[in-house]
Structure 1
């Protein structure tokens, strides 16, 4: 007997889903909304209510997938069905004319071009089965990309279900609109985070986030521009393909245009070179494609790029301005960067008042001087760049710029890590300018793994005078943390003190990495830990002992020696030792090597320890911890809210254990 109430719910759900999808397309793809936000919200909330009460009827193309909520545990590597090739670039009309001549030479029949704006974003391949989005893969190296399906589902202009129940693969570009880029950067700046350099970087960073809720908060957009195997659908040209893709629900750029000859191509380029700033997104050129797919096949591809397409890049606008002064900035690694403060000038729609001079070799090669008139442009349309001085405007007041022998912040010695290095650095490990970033590295997962001690809290601790060097972290107590005031309660203070206490027993390799030895990454830190066993041995190590380690040359050995010979380094280490930080390698006994030769993976949150601690637990018992599940995995341990690894483990027949069972069996 059919449950009428359940059938009615299913019917209501399907109607709601279709109605919301219709309005999503009208609003996000066509920019033609026909209902107000309140009515839309009522429908959406009712859909969420039904899914909550009846999770079994939730559809894979549900609009609720746009909200996010899933936590990715990493991104699986996936091979593309057909390689995602790069395009050859040109910046000149002459080269476009030459490109057209090569086409004419090889193709005797008539042809035309599809002209499309080149969007400055991240390439994506979308795979649909029976009309439903199943997979979204990044370009990667062109052969293999990463599966970012859950993140892509949050992008409202990408349909979760198209209007035809067909199997189809399309390619396009995901981008961040300029207004959204400005909004996010303003938020990041206000919260003390680094701002993104440009919308493309912001897009790439967003698509790499593991939390889909965070991805959903950043309003990414897309244009689709390519159909795989168009002959399956009886389509013969690129312009037909774009019309077909628009018809079945994809967002297509309205500025695409069929161009009959090379003159129309150049005019199309000239128009958008002049008017591109009117667009709501970044474009750095046009893409020119032979329109006919049969001709495309005849022309073929090289290993790297198609012979039937080319990118015609836009010119960078150049302006003249004057250097008011040169400021020296000290970065987190101690690199001293000269920055030109400029007389304000409007360049490509924004006011430019400063430009990096990169390093002192760059200045010397171009003979750039303080008070020079200079020619500037925006590299890639984004970053102000000084091209050259205008020497004929020199008056004699210009001042040559020399590399500093002393740090502009702490007055310590400057130098290079090795002879080949271009950068000049402050060699003081405790220079205030780089201490905040050093503290962030110190507290990171790969360092002392102090959860809760992030950039914003470090900023407050530093600005309040509670921290002046790394060792001061271990002088903090509950009252000092509470004294920071707003936003810091008992729970936060207690948790931070607990984390700091636990960090005193981190492995020696973590400590070596965390204290910021110049040129020492995680691998070298581990090798130093294995060789010297404790910090005292490392402090006494001869240069010859250091160079015996693979990856450490004479210059790096000298840098390590100099770091540990600094009086300030010694004082910090003594302070850490005084407050209980353990500086010896913890030797592991493998008498009860219960996990010998076993590969262990984890999904979900463990209630008893962090992922890093679990990895250490496995390795101390002779096993290997892997962040991915493969056919070679021996055991998958599941915690709360397990992710996609669970399905993989079931598929491969891998042994699955709950947290308590695992720790009972493998003590």
Structure 2
């Protein structure tokens, strides 16, 4: 349908919905005073999604729906800042802040100066540009002169307005941060996966904003506070205090704890107050930013090459306590990671009594030479997670004991080890360890495996904790009556949908079944290779070590892991239960010709009919290969909308570029048939 054929009432309704949704976003995220229920809000969003789906010509970059769709970016482009983003000088005590105040007053030849005191958020500084009230660009600080374009990731942050409440051209600056609750959950998941935890929320936020997959940014629920207006005189703003009020009026989230101080003594009192109260906040702060309030005075003071003379960061003192390590316990995470935890003589730290602290991993224990009986120093990582940071060796008596590295899993007595030489985590290698069941079920139900919609983390928790599910196969034996016993929040419709998804999973492709089993060192790509060589679970389970290592992409470690998995008596029981439940454990006869056999593809831009994962699956199922980067071995670059730098590189190397429709012709695939078969 061409644009001129779109009814005027449709255009009007779409614009009304966008304005209404942005208004409710402002009420919820900025004012913290919603006026409609979540259900009513969701209805508005769903109506807009359906209208934009019917009339894609009307989709705009500032539509609220653009927060929902995910993109995989090729790279982050470097962009010059309109004005340098300078850092701040730091101070750590009252004497130094009074020296700062004296310098300011001497320079201005004033007896007293008014300041604005703002909490210093532990996050990532960004610059946001708006044209006619619409977000057009978002940059990191970078080196202060140039930053990286992270606009697409910033659109996933709910508190950053895509459209302002006034149609102004403006650039603002602020801080993107990760809330405490999100930070703790993210680090917990990383530790369980054997990945190093983020040291603090700032590092976590920075790592999130630099993800090329915008889905990751959206799922991590970052937040923002905006505090600076570039060229405030254009909006008739005279002071920083006025600017904070104006920022909130036009739609930005502004920190509510800032204070207008008539002199430096009030600044010091504010700093003392928040030194004590900072741990009560739902985000982490590491000090107070002190700014001269009047913009005219800021201009007079000017700046050095690195920092403004009219502002300074008044940092909070670091908190560290000494206590005794009286024992070590081992926790087994959902991925099998064995985490040593220090048992401490109780000590007060940052407002709480600390009895346990992280020892990270056994390499960390050896590196720090930590022993049972040692007097150790404890800090809170990122102000949140207690961790042992060092040992007071001068207080050793000689009776301290080495911390023993476990030889077997403390839960199942299974074998422990590292997945490879680069792995820092010691893990339980028994795939049937009860401590790993919840994580195994998540893997089994994940999109890359059986894709069982509705079988999420909360329901898995209830299924395992209730004893209804003791292994992966048990989900295929669940009954409606059993599911009703799981408690509130699981109604009849939810149960019916879940059982329907579980039934559908019985006919999942064999490579997805193998992926879902969670065989150590066997991911989706290896699972596909195994299916190409062994057409059934039975054949795979009987494959010898020699047969496995003859496959080009299967090395000795992977082959050994596969053999150990299938030789385990519990694996044999599991396979029998899956077969008895009606799960298809053989590959379908090849219904597709291998039309892309031997061809190498790279993908760039946003595709119309496929997600990135979907088109990769299709290419691989037709015998082709997919790479992340262009090389002379690339046969085709598939180009979608808004392509990145890969297109330029393909042109320079002479790699053939094709559109999505040209790819479908090359692959001899009918998109309508794929959709009818519900393959995508």
- Structure 1 residue 260 displacement after superposition: 13
Moved more, 521-530 or 263-272: 263-272
Q: What is the distance in 2 between the residues matched to 1:28 and 1:71?
A: 17
Q: What is the distance in 2 between the residues matched to 1:202 and 1:529?
A: 38
Which secondary structure state, in structure 2, belongs to the residue aligned with residue 433 of structure 1?
Answer: helix
Return the match for 1:517 from 520, 527, 536. 520
Return the match for 1:382 from 384, 389, 392. 384
Structure 1 residues 231 and 522, CA, compared in 2 at 3 Å: closer, same or farther? farther
Q: What is the distance in 2 between the residues matched to 1:205 and 1:236?
A: 36
Q: Deviations over 1:469-495 (max 9, x none)?
A: 4xx52x754555753433374443233
Q: Deviations over 1:142-168 (max 9, x none)?
A: 41314146544x43x8584244x4312
Match of 1:582 in 2: 586
What TM-score results when the alignment is normalised by the length of structure 1?
0.63
Q: Does 1:663 align with 2:670?
A: yes
Which secondary structure state, in structure 2, belongs to the residue aligned with residue 358 of structure 1?
Answer: coil
Which secondary structure state, in structure 1, belongs to the residue aligned with residue 563 of structure 2?
Answer: helix
| Alpha-carbon contact 1:175-1:221 (below 8 Å) kept | yes
Which secondary structure state, in structure 2, belongs to the residue aligned with residue 342 of structure 1?
Answer: strand
Return the match for 2:352 from 347, 350, 353. 350
- Structure 1 residue 613 displacement after superposition: 6.1
- Structure 1 residue 618 displacement after superposition: 5.0
Q: Deviations over 1:310-340 (max 9, x none)?
A: 8664333223444454211122343221112
Q: What is the distance in 1 between the residues matched to 2:28 and 2:470?
A: 52
Match of 1:120 in 2: 122
- Structure 1 residue 357 displacement after superposition: 1.2
Q: Which runs of 5+ in 2 are unaligned?
A: 1-7, 190-196, 629-635, 644-656, 675-680
Q: What is the distance in 2 between the residues matched to 1:79 and 1:364?
A: 42
Q: What is the distance in 1 between the residues matched to 2:480 and 2:43?
A: 44
- Structure 1 residue 264 displacement after superposition: 11
Return the match for 2:506 from 485, 489, 500. 500
- Structure 1 residue 228 displacement after superposition: 4.6
| Alpha-carbon contact 2:454-2:497 (below 8 Å) kept | no
Q: What is the distance in 2 between the residues matched to 1:598 and 1:364?
A: 44
Q: What is the distance in 1 between the residues matched to 2:262 and 2:48?
A: 52
Q: What is the distance in 2 between the residues matched to 1:598 and 1:75?
A: 13
- Structure 1 residue 404 displacement after superposition: 1.5
Return the match for 1:222 from 213, 221, 224. 224
Which secondary structure state, in structure 1, belongs to the residue aligned with residue 504 of structure 2?
Answer: helix
- Structure 1 residue 79 displacement after superposition: 3.9
Q: What is the distance in 1 between the residues matched to 2:462 and 2:45?
A: 40
- Structure 1 residue 496 displacement after superposition: 0.6
Q: What is the distance in 2 between the residues matched to 1:666 and 1:144?
A: 39
| Alpha-carbon contact 1:318-1:375 (below 8 Å) kept | yes
| Alpha-carbon contact 2:325-2:344 (below 8 Å) kept | yes
Match of 2:631 in 1: none
Structure 1 residues 530 and 583, CA, compared in 2 at 3 Å: closer, same or farther? closer
Return the match for 1:455 from 436, 454, 457. 457
Q: What is the distance in 2 between the residues matched to 1:497 and 1:48?
A: 31
Q: Does 1:314 align with 2:319?
A: no
| Alpha-carbon contact 1:269-1:286 (below 8 Å) kept | yes
Match of 2:70 in 1: 73
| Alpha-carbon contact 1:286-1:313 (below 8 Å) kept | yes
Which secondary structure state, in structure 2, belongs to the residue aligned with residue 225 of structure 1?
Answer: strand
Pairwise mapping of residues 244-643 of structure 1 onto structure 2 (< 5 A)?
245=247, 250-253=252-255, 272-274=274-276, 276-277=278-279, 281-287=283-289, 299-300=304-305, 313-323=315-325, 325-370=327-372, 372-389=374-391, 399-418=401-420, 421-463=423-465, 467-469=469-471, 472-473=472-473, 477=476, 480=479, 483-486=482-485, 487=490, 489-504=495-510, 506=512, 511=514, 514-518=517-521, 520-522=522-524, 535=540, 539-541=544-546, 549=553, 557-558=556-557, 560-562=559-561, 564-565=563-564, 568-569=567-568, 572=571, 576=575, 579=579, 580-582=584-586, 589-590=593-594, 616-621=617-622
- Structure 1 residue 348 displacement after superposition: 1.8
Q: What is the distance in 2 between the residues matched to 1:327 and 1:571?
A: 28
Structure 1 residues 503 and 352, CA, compared in 2 at 3 Å: closer, same or farther? farther
Structure 1 residues 543 and 89, CA, compared in 2 at 3 Å: closer, same or farther? farther
- Structure 1 residue 589 displacement after superposition: 3.5
| Alpha-carbon contact 1:88-1:311 (below 8 Å) kept | yes
Corresponding pairs, count: 597
Structure 1 residues 359 and 95, CA, compared in 2 at 3 Å: closer, same or farther? farther
Q: What is the distance in 1 between the residues matched to 2:30 and 2:541?
A: 64
Structure 1 residues 175 and 249, CA, compared in 2 at 3 Å: closer, same or farther? same
Q: Does 1:161 align with 2:159?
A: no
Q: What is the distance in 2 between the residues matched to 1:329 and 1:236?
A: 57
- Structure 1 residue 170 displacement after superposition: 1.6
Q: What is the distance in 1 between the residues matched to 2:249 and 2:467?
A: 62
Q: Deviations over 1:225-267 (max 9, x none)?
A: 3345668779899788667656756454466689999999999
Structure 1 residues 422 and 625, CA, compared in 2 at 3 Å: closer, same or farther? closer
| Alpha-carbon contact 1:452-1:496 (below 8 Å) kept | no
Q: What is the distance in 1 between the residues matched to 2:28 and 2:438?
A: 44
Match of 2:646 in 1: none
Which secondary structure state, in structure 1, belongs to the residue aligned with residue 172 of structure 2?
Answer: strand
Which secondary structure state, in structure 2, belongs to the residue aligned with residue 362 of structure 1?
Answer: helix
Q: Does 1:145 align with 2:150?
A: yes
Which secondary structure state, in structure 2, belongs to the residue aligned with residue 147 of structure 1?
Answer: helix
| Alpha-carbon contact 2:619-2:626 (below 8 Å) kept | yes
What TM-score results when the alignment is normalised by the length of structure 2?
0.62
